[in-house]
């Protein structure tokens, strides 16, 4: 399926990339990873993004991971492939390869490394959409890229049909509010921040692309449904309950702690590749202690 504004909603998990102990890809484990997410009610998957260690994978490995994820999902939920390269030519080449591998859509990060102007960002997404033959999901994460896409620029990009959605990972709530005002009826706005997810859902986000849903997918589905039902206070209390775990799972560069936390749930997806590192033992100990109660709650939600 080709994703559109109306078909994009709910929680999409930014998946990790399973690896063998020697650091090679463990493609066979992707099926178990996907099944656990779908059973929990996750609406979509985002492969080979930042959480998927895209920068540590070769281009051909990224395509392999996307293909394996598509095969495991088997059409039950959309699979979006992360395109995290800053240059247009590499973005087009990867994007086309991902679509050929069966991806339903592309999540394309803002061009970084050259401090582009807002006009340059707008032109970039137009060139990407034209080059791959379909609209894409804009990924705005300024604390990593040092590039911020203004709400007015997002409006320009949406108006020319280059994007169908946006993963908004900018903690500037004033900018998010303006974003909803300008493009909430034009594209699917997906929250990219766990701590702000409930508030952003109440403001107009139609879902989210999150990484900690790898660990607590049912808990996050409950948070989303509670926020959608209009009970923001209760949704915030649910987030407060997992707050300390969220602090720890992002205390060191992602996805080292995320993969360690997955192993604590019983799904060992292996090591990370350099420049990523395994988390410190003390951090793993903290997460083990926190997950005792959080996983009990998660399992209770499973009935």
> Which residues are identified as catalytic?
139, 167
Determine the distance from the C-alpha atom of residue 41 to the mean position of all C-alpha atoms in its chain, rounded to a whole number: 16
Q: Report residue 131 as tokens.
A: 């080059």
The pairing of beta strand 10-14 with beta strand 207-210: parallel
């Amino acid at each position: 399926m080709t994703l559109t504004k109306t078909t994009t909603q709910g929680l999409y998990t930014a998946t990790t990339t399973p690896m063998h102990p020697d650091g090679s890809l463990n493609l066979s484990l992707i099926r178990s990873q996907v099944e656990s997410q779908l059973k929990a009610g996750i609406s979509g998957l985002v492969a080979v993004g930042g959480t998927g260690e895209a920068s540590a994978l070769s281009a051909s490995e990224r395509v392999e991971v996307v293909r394996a994820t598509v095969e495991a999902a088997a059409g039950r939920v959309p699979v979006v492939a992360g395109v995290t390269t800053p240059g247009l030519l590499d973005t087009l080449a990867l994007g086309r390869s991902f679509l050929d591998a069966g991806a339903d859509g592309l999540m394309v990060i803002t061009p970084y490394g050259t401090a582009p102007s807002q006009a340059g960002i707008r032109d970039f997404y137009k060139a990407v959409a034209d080059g791959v033959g379909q609209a894409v999901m804009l990924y705005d994460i300024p604390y990593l890229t040092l590039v911020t896409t203004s709400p007015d620029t997002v409006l320009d990009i949406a108006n020319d049909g280059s994007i169908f959605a946006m993963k908004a990972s900018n903690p500037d709530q004033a900018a998010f509010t303006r974003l909803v005002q300008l493009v909430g009826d034009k594209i699917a706005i997906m929250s990219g921040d766990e701590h702000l997810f409930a508030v952003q859902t109440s403001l107009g986000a139609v879902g989210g692309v999150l990484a900690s849903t790898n660990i607590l997918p049912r808990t996050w589905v409950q948070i989303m449904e509670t926020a959608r039902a209009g009970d923001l206070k209760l949704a915030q209390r649910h987030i407060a309950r997992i707050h300390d775990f969220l602090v720890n799972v992002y205390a060191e560069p992602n996805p080292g702690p995320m993969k360690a936390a997955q192993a604590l749930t019983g799904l060992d997806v292996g090591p990370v590749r350099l420049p990523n590192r395994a988390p410190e033992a003390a951090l793993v100990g903290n997460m083990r202690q926190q997950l005792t109660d959080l996983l009990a709650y998660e399992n209770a939600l499973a009935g």
